[in-house]
Amino acid sequence: MALLVMSEDYVRALIGKLMKETRVVAPHVREGRKQWQFADVVDPGRVALEYVSTILPPKKYAFPTEDDLVHWRTEEGFSAEPVLSVEPLVLFGVHPCDIYGLESLDISLTDTYVDPNWVARRRAMRIVGIDCLPDEWCFCSSMKTCSVSSGYDLFLTPINNWSEYVAEAATGAGAAMLAVAEGREASSHDLAQMRAWQNDKLARQRDRRINTEVNDLPLHFTGFADSVVWERWSRKCYSCGTCNTTCPTCFCFDVLDKLKLSLDEGYRSRVWDGCMLEDFAVVAPHENFREERHERLRHRFYRKYAYLYTRYGRPYCSGCGRCVRQCLADIDPVKVINDLLTEARKEAAGHGL
């Protein structure tokens, strides 16, 4: 399939055409701040094409922060019915790390039990990806998520200092978008610039890397549940859960009942939850099997780089950097993992291994 080179004006014109067909969500600058968030597009001219990372990942459009699951009534005997609100949606301007996150949740939320709300919303969703340049917090090169080869309908790679974009369709829906877009056919020079873009991404993270291959991470976590690393880093932690709520691959939730004042009607809803929160592991009779901060920190890292990796064959971390970018205590996964690797080497040396 031929690649199309589009100017910035043509990209924004494409957004306008998509808006006539369906709801379009894209990154926007938060007013008065150098931060970005996904929001409904009202004006294509306000869409942020050049950005680093949104505060929350786009998973919120398939896995809302609060999601009504069941509506029940007791007016004429008890009755309950599932609640599901779905509408066609184009997620525009999604970075590779977030595309990887969506694909990861596609796996975990359809594994043993299929989440019908997630599946329905994902089926109604089209993805337009856009490449990016990492900041000082990104570590996608270590996670092998600098680029993706699936999970999108259309993908845009900036060239010529963000003045043009090489557009590549991966699905029929993406091809339909290109069919109504304006542009020119990509030349060999344009393709060379695409390759240079990827090389630049890797070069920017040369000094910010996990000191092992990503495929070896589960092995490095084996046998280090009692490492001093967990206690050392947990002393800084506020147990605020920001790392959970900003992560594109976290999917834990709690289930709450919301009653109307009449007590004859209500909703059962799920809300985002996180393993770093103090009460996350509380069970009856108010026992907490991860009461200490170091236990919760350890669990989070094992989930990301060992447990789910072993189960699904991929790390449940996209290297987007949101967790450390938003962390008040500067708990950095790269530093924590490298600290663990250093301790492991010391232990091996002490045993003459």
Same-domain pairing of 12 and 38: yes
In a domain, 264, yes or no: no
In a domain, 248, yes or no: yes
In a domain, 79, yes or no: no
Following DSSP, what letter does each residue of 115-176 receive, concatenated?
Answer: -HHHHHHHHTEEEEEE-----TT--HHHHT-SS-SSS-SEEEEEETTTTEEEEEE-SHHHHH
By residue range, what is the domain housing residue 155? 4-66+86-204
Same-domain pairing of 13 and 55: yes
Same-domain pairing of 284 and 316: yes
The SS3 assignment for 254 reads strand
Same-domain pairing of 180 and 288: no
Residue in 107, 98, 159, 105 with CA at minimum distance from that of residue 128: 98
pTM: 0.95
In a domain, 262, yes or no: no
Same-domain pairing of 121 and 146: yes
CA distances from 232 to 84, 293, 336, 344 (A): 44, 10, 10, 15
What tokens appear for 31 in the block? 């007013």
Asked whether the beta carbons of 180 and 154 are under 8 A apart, the reply is no
Q: How many CB atoms lie within 10 A of CB 316?
A: 25
Same-domain pairing of 16 and 134: yes
Same-domain pairing of 290 and 323: yes
Same-domain pairing of 239 and 116: no
CA distances from 127 to 84, 160, 335 (A): 21, 24, 32
Same-domain pairing of 219 and 336: yes
In a domain, 96, yes or no: yes
Provide block-wise average pLDDT over 10 residues at a time, the chain (353 residues).
90 98 97 89 97 97 96 90 94 98 98 95 98 95 96 97 96 96 96 94 94 95 94 96 97 94 92 96 90 96 97 97 96 97 82 56
Same-domain pairing of 195 and 286: no
Residue in 220, 255, 244 with CA at minimum distance from that of residue 336: 220
Following DSSP, what letter does each residue of 265-308 receive, concatenated?
Answer: EEEEEEEE--TTSTTTTEETTTEETT-SHHHHHHHHHHIIIIIH
Task: State how many domains the chain has.
Answer: 2
Asked whether the beta carbons of 287 and 279 are under 8 A apart, the reply is no
Same-domain pairing of 27 and 135: yes
In a domain, 164, yes or no: yes
Final residue belonging to a domain, choices 178, 204, 230: 204
Same-domain pairing of 240 and 169: no
Sign of dihedral through CA atoms 71, 76, 78, 80?
Answer: negative
In a domain, 263, yes or no: no
In a domain, 80, yes or no: no
